[in-house]
């Protein structure tokens, strides 16, 4: 059957689905998807390639990816789906700094592996995410990002042993200071290394250039404020550390393809509808 978990062009532009039974197909057309396989090995097809996903594994799909499963019982599968235009093309950027890693013979998809003893904590994180999304009228986007950040951090620790300190520190600094520093040199200075050495550490693990990660983080935060707040574009510009609104406008249009005002208009009608419904209920 085709998995139906709701359109992603309507508020809150993110959805969660806890599967019950039966096989399913998932096409990531305008979304980025996180699929959690909790309890047993799962035979599936990712982007046309057969694969066996072990238990305690998260599959991350980007826009344009496909995932199908023929199992008769997928009750242990959970799917978190986000609108890719708002949350960026890669689900991992919700974490704020990591690009797709751990690719295992499945084009464009990323597999994150966890230890058995981590399962209860991961399940608890998914429960928290589900609770946040159930209250879509007052979406706590910061709390949502925090829970997904925790989820992806678990895989980071397993993946990066030697360079975990620098990669983690870069991510922590970026999460706190993205609205202050926009240049790689500023982050390298705080890590007591040359920018070229920081770049080498990311290249070693097939991560994107730190400058690209910084830019993706900025665009993510800007999009979230445009969609989920009533702040003016000018206010958002200054809040994320741009001091020239004209330059900010050019930056956004260059990397998103439309102006910030146009981007807001794409989603404004859904937000107004939700607000009207909430005011009527009060």
The rounded percent of the chain whose pLDDT value lies above 90 is 25
Rounded Cα gap, residues 205 and 184, in angstroms: 18
pLDDT of 239 reads 96
Q: Are residues 203 and 148 in the same domain?
A: no
pLDDT of 105 reads 41
Residue with the larger pLDDT of the pair 20 and 219: 219
Q: Are residues 85 and 207 in the same domain?
A: no
Backbone angles phi, psi at 244, to 5 degrees: -130, 100
pLDDT at 20 over 50: yes
Contacts of 57 (CB under 8 A, 6+ apart): 36, 37, 111, 112, 113, 114
pLDDT band per the 50, 70, 90 thresholds, residue 252:
very high
Rounded Cα gap, residues 274 and 23, in angstroms: 33
- DSSP SS3 for 243: coil
Per-residue pLDDT tens digits for 93-103: 555 444 444 44
Q: Are residues 128 and 241 in the same domain?
A: no
Q: Are residues 87 and 137 in the same domain?
A: yes
Residue that finishes a domain, picked among 139, 159, 179: 159
pLDDT band per the 50, 70, 90 thresholds, residue 177:
very high
Report if residue 3 sits inside a domain.
no
Q: Are residues 109 and 217 in the same domain?
A: no
Average pLDDT over the chain reads 80
Report if residue 18 sits inside a domain.
yes
Residue that finishes a domain, picked among 159, 176, 193: 159
Residue with the larger pLDDT of the pair 107 and 105: 107
CATH number at residue 229: 1.10.10.60
In Å, how far from its chain's centre is CA 46?
A: 19
pLDDT at 209 over 60: yes
pLDDT of 162 reads 52
pLDDT band per the 50, 70, 90 thresholds, residue 179:
very high
Residue 171 belongs to domain spanning: 166-282
Average pLDDT estimate for 21-44: 83
CATH number at residue 117: 2.60.120.10
Q: Are residues 147 and 181 in the same domain?
A: no
Q: Are strands 42-46 and 49-53 parallel, antiparallel or unpaired?
A: antiparallel
Helices (H), the chain: 84-87, 119-134, 141-159, 164-177, 184-190, 195-204, 210-228, 233-239, 245-256, 260-281
pLDDT band per the 50, 70, 90 thresholds, residue 260:
very high
pLDDT band per the 50, 70, 90 thresholds, residue 237:
very high
Report if residue 7 sits inside a domain.
no
pLDDT of 180 reads 95
Q: Are residues 126 and 86 in the same domain?
A: yes
Range from 105-109, 159-163, 219-223, 277-281 that averages highest in pLDDT: 219-223
Contact 178, 186 (CB under 8 A): no
Report if residue 1 sits inside a domain.
no
Average pLDDT estimate for 113-124: 84
Q: Are residues 110 and 174 in the same domain?
A: no
Q: Are residues 120 and 149 in the same domain?
A: yes
Q: Are residues 262 and 154 in the same domain?
A: no
Report if residue 191 sits inside a domain.
yes
Report if residue 4 sits inside a domain.
no
Average pLDDT estimate for 263-274: 72
Per-residue pLDDT tens digits for 122-139: 888 888 888 888 876 677
Instruction: Using alpha carbons, list the distances in angstroms from residue 225 to 119, 230, 231, 264.
Output: 33, 8, 7, 10
Average pLDDT estimate for 235-261: 96
Report if residue 31 sits inside a domain.
yes
Q: How many domains does the chain have?
A: 2
Report if residue 5 sits inside a domain.
no
Residue that finishes a domain, picked among 112, 129, 159: 159
Q: What is the largest CA-CA distance in the chain?
A: 57
Closest alpha carbon to 248 in 258, 233, 263? 233
First and final C-alpha spacing in the chain: 39
Contact 67, 44 (CB under 8 A): yes
- DSSP SS3 for 19: coil
Is the whole-model pTM more than 0.85?
A: no
Per-residue pLDDT tens digits for 129-173: 888 888 766 778 888 888 877 777 766 665 555 556 777 788 888
Q: Are residues 145 and 25 in the same domain?
A: yes
Rounded Cα gap, residues 98 and 171, in angstroms: 8
Q: Are residues 144 and 198 in the same domain?
A: no
pLDDT band per the 50, 70, 90 thresholds, residue 282:
very low
């Amino acid at each position: 059957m085709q998995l139906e978990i709701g359109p992603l062009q309507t508020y809150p532009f993110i959805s969660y689905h806890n599967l019950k039974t039966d096989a399913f197909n998932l096409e990531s057309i305008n979304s980025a998807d996180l699929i959690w396989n909790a309890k047993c090995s799962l035979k599936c097809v990712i982007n046309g390639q057969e694969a066996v996903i072990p238990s305690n594994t998260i599959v991350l799909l980007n826009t344009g990816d496909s995932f199908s499963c023929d199992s008769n019982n997928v009750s242990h599968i959970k799917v978190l789906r986000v609108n890719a235009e708002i949350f960026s093309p890669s689900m991992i950027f919700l974490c704020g700094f990591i690009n797709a890693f751990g690719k295992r013979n499945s084009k464009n998809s990323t597999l994150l592996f966890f230890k058995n003893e981590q399962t209860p904590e991961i399940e608890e994180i998914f429960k928290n995410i589900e609770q946040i999304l159930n209250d879509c009228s007052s979406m706590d986007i910061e709390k949502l990002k925090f829970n997904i950040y925790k989820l992806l951090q678990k895989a980071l620790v397993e993946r990066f042993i030697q360079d975990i300190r620098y990669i983690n520190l870069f991510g922590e600094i970026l999460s706190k200071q993205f609205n202050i520093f926009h240049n790689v040199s500023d982050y390298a200075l705080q890590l007591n290394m040359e920018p070229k050495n920081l770049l080498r550490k990311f290249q070693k693990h097939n991560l994107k250039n730190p400058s690209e990660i910084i830019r993706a983080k900025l665009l993510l935060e800007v999009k979230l404020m445009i969609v989920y707040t009533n702040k003016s574009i000018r206010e958002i510009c200054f809040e994320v550390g741009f001091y020239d609104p004209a330059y900010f406008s050019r930056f956004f249009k260059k990397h998103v393809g439309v102006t910030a005002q146009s981007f807001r208009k794409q989603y404004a009608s859904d937000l107004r509808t939700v607000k009207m419904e909430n005011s009527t209920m009060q």
